[in-house]
Amino acid sequence: MPLFASPSSFAAREQFAQKPRGLVDKVMSVAEAVRRFVRDGDYLATGGFGTNRIPTAVCHEILRQGKQNLSFAGHTTTHDFQILCAGNLMGRGQTLRRVDAAYIVGLEARGLSPHARRVMESGTVEVVEWSNYTLALRYTAAAMGVPFLPTHSLLGTDTLTHSAARIITCPFTGETLVAVPALYPDVAAIHVHEADRFGNCRLRGPSVADWDLARAARRLIITCERLIPDDEIRRHPHLTTIPFFCVDAVCEVPFGSYPGNMPEEYFSDEEHLKLWLEVERDVEAFRQFLEDHIYGTRDFTEYLERCGGLRRLQALRRREFHLSRADLPAATR
């Protein structure tokens, strides 16, 4: 099976060496970040896990700007993949061209995305298969600056046959191993809780592969719930998960994971996610839905207004707070 991105560590290092190392103000709008850092034909990766901490605003803007022929890492993707597949609706071109697939199409217990399923069954998108672990391991290899990592994973499975991994022999023990190639995305988008203007980021909850993804991506767009002073970052440096030198753009987007959830911030909007799944069943109804909610809106703030605005968002924040409190011992509530 083909590789959709070169695993060459030397080529990646040459590009990383050109990234600025100074403390530069990187704050900009999502529209500007996508316009500057997402290019037609790029390999794109998104952070988060399931519907947790997804960079929804960036995915919306990719559709608004009509970015085309992207490759994509479907690591633990749910609603973000659903949004990008909407760009493959007839009359809008082809947002997705190639997909490295581990977890796609499904929105976990909510069910399968009818439109994402149509796209993936259409034969218009090239697909290579991976497990969640081996796709994450590809980021790890890239973050380490090596072209591959060895593993026992995938051996004895059909996934190996449909992947681009290779069977190798260990030069020290003679054991049979799988060589998993590094993945250096052209651009990645990660949503975090807090960031300063230089790109130092904090996040809470499961980070999954984002530590490695941030260091593997050639260009990185950060969206954050809040901009915080760099003095605060310096006061508690151990809380920084993604350092500034990995980051190219910082975009303040409150509720930026909506309709996904954000740990300790707000719960997922299950009603809106259900609406997406229902409206996708009819192509014309879905086309109108996208026009009303994405293509016909100026930005993510207007999208939030059309989904219920502050009243709805406050309700989701209260629900997350009450659920978080319910997990605490009674004496600490």
Q: How far apart are CA 316 and CA 270, in angstroms?
A: 10
Rounded mean pLDDT of 313-325?
Answer: 87
Average pLDDT, the chain: 95
pLDDT number for residue 288: 96
Q: E strand or H helix at 252, and its extent?
A: strand 249-252
Whether 267 is in a domain gets the answer yes
Q: What does the pLDDT average to over 25-51?
A: 98
CA dihedral sign of residues 151, 190, 34, 64:
positive
Residue-wise pLDDT tens digits, 73-91: 999 999 999 999 999 987 7
Phi, psi of 251 (to 5 degrees): -125, 120
Nearest by Cα to 33 from 195, 164, 181: 195
pLDDT by residue (tens digit) across 119-156?
A: 999 999 999 999 999 999 999 999 999 999 999 999 99
- Rounded Cα distance, 332 and 143, in Å: 40
- DSSP secondary structure code for residue 292 in this structure: I
In a domain, 23, yes or no: yes
- 38 burial (CB, 10 Å; 0-12 / 13-18 / 19+) is buried
Give the pLDDT band of residue 191 (cuts 50, 70, 90). Answer: very high
Q: Does any domain span residue 73?
A: yes
- Which residues, in sequence order, are CB contacts of 109 under 8 Å at separation 6+? none
Q: What is the pLDDT of residue 250?
A: 98
Structural domain boundaries enclosing 45: 13-147+182-332
pLDDT of amino acid 134: 98
pLDDT bracket for residue 231 (50, 70, 90): very high
Place of tokens 């600025």: 20
Q: Are 80 and 48 in contact (CB under 8 A)?
A: yes
321 SS3 class: helix
- Nearest CA to 266 out of 225, 294, 236, 306 is that of 225
Amino acid at 191: H
153 within domain boundaries: no
Per-residue pLDDT tens digits for 40-62: 999 999 999 999 999 999 999 99
Query: Does pLDDT of 233 surpass 70?
Result: yes
Q: Is the pLDDT of residue 331 over 50?
A: no
- Tally of CB atoms within 10 A around 268: 24
Tally the domains of the chain. Answer: 1
Helix (H, G, I), strand (E, B) or coil at 126: strand
Other C-beta atoms closer than 10 Å to the C-beta of 308 total 16
CATH code for the domain in which residue 36 is found: 3.40.1080.10
3-class SS string, 167-227: EEECCCCCCEEEEEECCCCCEEEEEEEEECCCCCEECCCCCCCHHHHHHHCCEEEEEEEEE
Q: Classify residue 100: in a domain, yes or no.
A: yes
Q: How far is CA 306 from CA 60, 80, 258, in A?
A: 14, 19, 12
Q: Which two tokens stand for residue 219?
A: 């260009």
Decide the pairing of beta strands 70-74 and 43-46: parallel
Specify if 289 maps to a domain: yes
Q: What per-residue confidence (pLDDT) applies to 20?
A: 87
What's the full length of the chain, in residues? 333
Q: How far apart are CA 259 and CA 79, in angstroms?
A: 8
- Assess if residue 5 is contained within a domain: no
Question: Do the domain assignments include residue 171?
Answer: no
In the prediction, which pLDDT does 324 show?
A: 61
Residues 167-180: pLDDT tens digits?
999 999 999 999 99
